[in-house]
């Protein structure tokens, strides 16, 4: 199978701070690769280097066998980017936006018109194509954001949180569109905060933490190799006691916190964990065991929940 995207020793420093240490990754042609990592892990920097938006401090990027450093125009033409931001002009219509973004890839005339018509159909915006984007709902804007990355028919598309902040209907539409693109043979790199999207969509998942890939494999491989049995605790007590309990739990395993709930993959037995929490003044109101899944694998690998702020 061909390699659609190859990253070799890719790293980025901002002054004395290293954002990405050294990433080695091959994305195979036609596969959908999930890129997961806590906030600040280096996902966006890695994507930016892969797209040529950020110049790497070291390492190389090859897109469809073409070196990004040596032949940037040829390499970039093979790639589509769907940024996390709504990178479209709200004052313009969908057609005007797509005409501009298509022209960046040397599409003109009838070919551009045909591509615009196709992509508007793909994202379900054909009937609203002549309205200014500012009149769209958040979900429709996200769909146009996706269309702008697809208009030039790339071999590889990189989607950075394509469903963040949209209504369930649009989220489902985007999800199904990406799924269909994958079925049609497009290579996809997909980052998301929604673990279930990654589990359902991606053939393989790379988990990034602290600027490096800490695990790479299929979802079942990652779960089998890294996911310990997780427990979920619901705590009672003062906010200070719950804060202290969160800190105490972190000494006994990987912890993700959501308000009064702690999801923990314990490193040792349950007894020392419970004792440590109760010593803080917090009490355990409820305790449940959780099946091993991608989320618990992620938690075990990074020590953080996917939505935690770094």
Q: Does 164 bind other proteins (CB under 8 A)?
A: no
Coil vs helix vs strand at 130: coil
Shorter beta-carbon distance to other proteins: residue 91 or 196:
91
Cα–Cα distance for residue pair 125/142, rounded to 1 Å: 11
86, 122, 164, 270: which one binds other proteins (CB under 8 A): 86
Cα–Cα distance for residue pair 236/228, rounded to 1 Å: 25
- Length of the chain, in residues: 310
Task: Using the rule CB under 8 A, give the single segment among 20-28, 88-96, 188-196, 246-254 that binds other proteins.
Answer: 88-96
What is the 3-state composition of the chain as percent helix, strand, coil, each rounded to the nearest 5?
40, 30, 30
Task: Using the rule CB under 8 A, give the single segment among 74-82, 168-176, 181-189, 239-247 that binds other proteins.
Answer: 74-82
- Cβ–Cβ under 8 Å, residues 310 and 39: yes
Q: Does 17 bind other proteins (CB under 8 A)?
A: no
Query: CB of 13: closest distance to other proteins in angstroms?
Result: 13
Query: In angstroms, how far is CA 98 from the centroid of its own chain?
Result: 24
Task: Using the rule CB under 8 A, give the single segment among 72-80, 167-175, 231-239, 273-281 that binds other proteins.
Answer: 72-80
Cα–Cα distance for residue pair 276/268, rounded to 1 Å: 12
What tokens were used for 259? 């308000």
Task: Using the rule CB under 8 A, give the single segment among 25-33, 53-61, 203-211, 289-297 that binds other proteins.
Answer: 53-61
Which residues from 103-142 bind other proteins, rule CB under 8 A? 103-106, 132
51, 186, 227, 235: which one binds other proteins (CB under 8 A): 51
- Cβ–Cβ under 8 Å, residues 35 and 46: yes
Cα–Cα distance for residue pair 204/189, rounded to 1 Å: 10
Task: Using the rule CB under 8 A, give the single segment among 47-55, 231-239, 257-265, 295-303 that binds other proteins.
Answer: 47-55
96, 216, 250, 303: which one binds other proteins (CB under 8 A): 96
What tokens were used for 171? 């989220």
Cα–Cα distance for residue pair 250/256, rounded to 1 Å: 9
Q: Does 92 bind other proteins (CB under 8 A)?
A: yes
59, 72, 217, 228: which one binds other proteins (CB under 8 A): 72
Give the interface with other proteins as residue ranges (CB under 8 A).
Answer: 48, 51-55, 72-77, 79, 81, 83-92, 96, 99-101, 103-106, 132, 148-149
């Amino acid at each position: 199978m061909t390699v659609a995207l190859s990253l070799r020793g890719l790293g980025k420093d901002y002054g004395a701070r290293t954002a990405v240490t050294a990433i080695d990754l091959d994305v195979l042609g036609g596969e959908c690769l999930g890129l997961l990592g806590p906030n600040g892990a280096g996902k966006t920097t890695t994507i930016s280097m892969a797209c040529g938006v950020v110049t790497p401090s070291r390492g190389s990027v090859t897109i469809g066998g073409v070196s990004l450093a040596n032949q940037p125009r040829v390499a970039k033409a093979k790639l589509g980017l769907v940024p996390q931001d709504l990178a479209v002009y709200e004052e313009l219509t969908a057609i005007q936006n797509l005409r501009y973004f298509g022209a960046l890839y040397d599409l003109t005339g009838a070919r551009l018109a045909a591509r615009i018509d196709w992509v508007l159909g793909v994202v379900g915006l054909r009937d609203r194509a002549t309205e200014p984007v500012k009149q769209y709902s958040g979900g429709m804007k996200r769909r146009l954001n996706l269309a702008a990355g697809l208009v030039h028919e790339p071999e590889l598309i990189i989607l950075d949180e394509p469903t963040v902040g949209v209504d369930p209907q649009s989220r489902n539409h985007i999800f199904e569109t990406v799924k269909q693109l994958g079925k049609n043979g497009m290579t996809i790199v997909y980052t998301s905060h929604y673990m279930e999207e990654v589990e359902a969509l991606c053939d393989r998942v790379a988990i990034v933490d602290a600027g490096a890939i800490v695990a790479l494999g299929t979802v079942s491989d990652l779960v089998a190799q890294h996911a310990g049995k997780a427990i979920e605790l619901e705590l009672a007590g003062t906010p200070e006691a719950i804060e202290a309990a969160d800190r105490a739990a972190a000494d006994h395993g990987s912890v993700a916190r959501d308000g009064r709930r702690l999801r923990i993959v314990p490193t040792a037995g349950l007894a020392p964990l419970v004792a440590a929490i109760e010593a803080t003044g917090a009490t355990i109101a409820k305790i449940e065991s959780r099946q091993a899944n991608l989320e618990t694998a992620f938690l075990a690998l990074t020590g953080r929940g996917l939505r935690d702020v770094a």
